[in-house]
């Protein structure tokens, strides 16, 4: 039989609370407008799966938690704040609700999941001094408007193997000195999701982006990821909007929805031997001042009614563009040779 969850209530004074061998829930609401969770409290969940649910007030918090795996923090103040997890090393799951101002999280190397719910245009800084302890970080953002998440490491460059990002009605900028080889994006919700990359972080090392889900996604300016090689949205049923201008990108696999892809000439032999392979939807490819030829880029429109719209430049397809039903050259200027392109 399962043991019932034991509830522990914090007070305005110093609390020294111990859990039992089952699941424990530590509750720390505001009392008289003052927080009951402070750095003076010592909470020990002991065995079992234990949670802390607290209201975070004031400009800083350094909780003393032992054997507590999950913390849910709701923000009430409208000011910048900091969260120090140096004395909460068992904490792996952090949920942040209703944050309207910037939050800096330090000593966060043990976190495996960070969920942000109903936040405003704020900056979340997750600073893990030694990311070698955790190789996979999950970030979940629901109803988040124009927030930025900066993931930082120590002065020695260290990265996650995978960052898993769930977006549900979220607009987020991802930056910081620590990143991952693979970025997995789960796009949810009926509205648009937006993901931007902070291009000032040149050391960002994402080489592969994998997208799934049914929520439409705008992936903005992946040129901020200088080592990006693959974008794979083949398992997504949503529509993807993105710009292909990363210098090392060699493969884009489109979603099953109606993708909107812009291919931008960024000079040199960029995008050489790249393949854009689209899915089932009615896709639009906009080529902006770009030269297509067999050594540069190939396009396969896949199923659906697909369109290429030209905005200048020179085009030599020579059979490297397949299954594209419509060509729009109303804004184009230059030389075009469509032999073997499959254009109708």
Q: What is the pLDDT of residue 168?
A: 93
Residue ranges with strand state E in 4-49: 6-9, 16-18, 24-28, 30-31, 34-35, 42-44
Tell me which residue of 173, 183, 238, 237 sits closest to 205, measured CA to CA. Answer: 183
Residue 237 has pLDDT above 90, yes or no: yes
What is d(CA 83, CA 228) in angstroms, rounded to the nearest whole number? 32
Residue 258 has pLDDT above 80, yes or no: yes
**pLDDT per residue over 28-84, tens digit each?**
999 988 999 999 999 999 999 999 999 988 889 999 999 999 999 998 777 889 999
What is d(CA 234, CA 335) in angstroms, rounded to the nearest whole number? 33
pLDDT over 70 for what percent of the chain? 75
Decide which of 68 and 197 is more confident: 68
Within 10 angstroms of residue 192's Cβ, the number of other Cβ atoms is 17
- The three-state secondary structure class of 132 is helix
Q: What is the pLDDT of residue 162?
A: 81
Structure tokens at 311: 């905005």
Structure tokens at 169: 């009605």
Q: How confident is the model at residue 247 (pLDDT cuts 50, 70, 90)?
A: low
CB 151 within 8 A of CB 137: yes
What is d(CA 144, CA 260) in angstroms, rounded to the nearest whole number? 24
CB 78 within 8 A of CB 98: no
Q: What is the pLDDT of residue 336?
A: 47
Q: What is the pLDDT of residue 344?
A: 44
Tell me which residue of 23, 24, 28 sits closest to 11, measured CA to CA. Answer: 28
CB 287 within 8 A of CB 310: yes
The model's pTM: 0.85
Q: What backbone phi and psi angles, to 5 degrees, belong to 313?
A: 100, -165
**pLDDT per residue over 183-196, tens digit each?**
899 999 877 899 98
**pLDDT per residue over 259-302, tens digit each?**
998 877 554 444 456 678 898 899 998 875 555 544 456 788 88
> Mean pLDDT of all residues in the chain?
80
Tell me which residue of 288, 293, 334 sits closest to 308, measured CA to CA. Answer: 288
CB 38 within 8 A of CB 65: no
Q: What backbone phi and psi angles, to 5 degrees, belong to 244?
A: -100, 100
Q: How many CA atoms lie less than 13 Å away from 59 in the CB half-sphere?
A: 2
What is d(CA 332, CA 287) in angstroms, rounded to the nearest whole number? 9
Residue 132 has pLDDT above 60, yes or no: no
What is d(CA 208, CA 155) in angstroms, rounded to the nearest whole number? 24
Residue 157 has pLDDT above 60, yes or no: no
Q: What is the pLDDT of residue 202?
A: 40
Q: What is the pLDDT of residue 340?
A: 46
H/E run at residue 209: strand 208-213
Residue 308 has pLDDT above 70, yes or no: yes
Decide which of 5 and 202 is more confident: 5
The gap from C-alpha 339 to its chain's centroid, in whole angstroms, comes to 41
Q: What is the pLDDT of residue 147?
A: 85
How many angstroms separate the Cα of 286 from the Cα of each of 39, 151, 188, 259? 55, 33, 26, 11
Q: How many CA atoms lie less than 13 Å away from 291 in the CB half-sphere?
A: 12
- The three-state secondary structure class of 180 is strand
Give me the mean pLDDT over the 306-333 stretch. 68
**pLDDT per residue over 323-339, tens digit each?**
888 877 765 554 444 54
């Amino acid at each position: 039989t399962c043991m019932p969850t034991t509830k522990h209530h914090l007070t305005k004074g110093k609390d020294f609370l111990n859990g039992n061998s089952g699941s424990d829930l530590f509750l720390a609401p505001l009392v008289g407008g003052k927080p009951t969770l402070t750095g003076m409290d010592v909470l020990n969940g002991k065995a079992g799966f234990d949670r802390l649910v607290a209201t975070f007030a004031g400009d800083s918090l350094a909780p003393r938690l032992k054997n507590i795996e999950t913390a849910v923090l709701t923000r009430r103040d409208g000011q910048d704040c900091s969260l120090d997890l140096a004395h909460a090393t068992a904490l792996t799951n952090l949920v942040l609700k209703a944050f309207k101002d910037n939050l800096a999280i330090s000593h966060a190397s043990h976190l495996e999941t960070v969920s942000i719910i109903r936040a405003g245009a704020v900056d979340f800084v997750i600073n893990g001094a030694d990311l070698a302890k955790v190789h996979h970080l999950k970030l979940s953002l629901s109803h988040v408007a124009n927030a930025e998440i900066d993931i930082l490491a120590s002065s020695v460059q260290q990265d996650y193997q995978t960052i898993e990002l769930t977006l549900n009605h979220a607009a987020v900028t991802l930056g910081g000195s620590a990143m991952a080889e693979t970025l997995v994006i789960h796009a949810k919700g009926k509205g648009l999701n937006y993901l931007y990359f902070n291009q000032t972080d040149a050391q960002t090392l994402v080489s592969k982006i994998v997208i799934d889900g049914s929520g439409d996604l705008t992936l903005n300016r992946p040129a901020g990821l200088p080592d990006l090689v693959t974008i794979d949205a083949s398992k997504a049923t949503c529509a993807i909007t993105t710009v292909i201008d990363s210098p090392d990108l060699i493969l884009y696999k489109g979603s099953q929805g109606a993708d909107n892809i812009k291919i931008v000439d960024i000079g040199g032999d960029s995008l050489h031997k790249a393949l854009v392979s689209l899915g089932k939807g009615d896709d639009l490819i906009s080529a902006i001042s770009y030269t297509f030829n067999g050594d540069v880029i190939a396009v396969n429109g896949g199923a659906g009614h697909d369109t290429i719209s030209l905005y200048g430049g020179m085009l030599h397809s020579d059979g490297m563009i397949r299954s594209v039903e419509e060509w729009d050259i109303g804004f184009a200027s230059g030389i075009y040779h469509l032999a073997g392109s499959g254009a109708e």
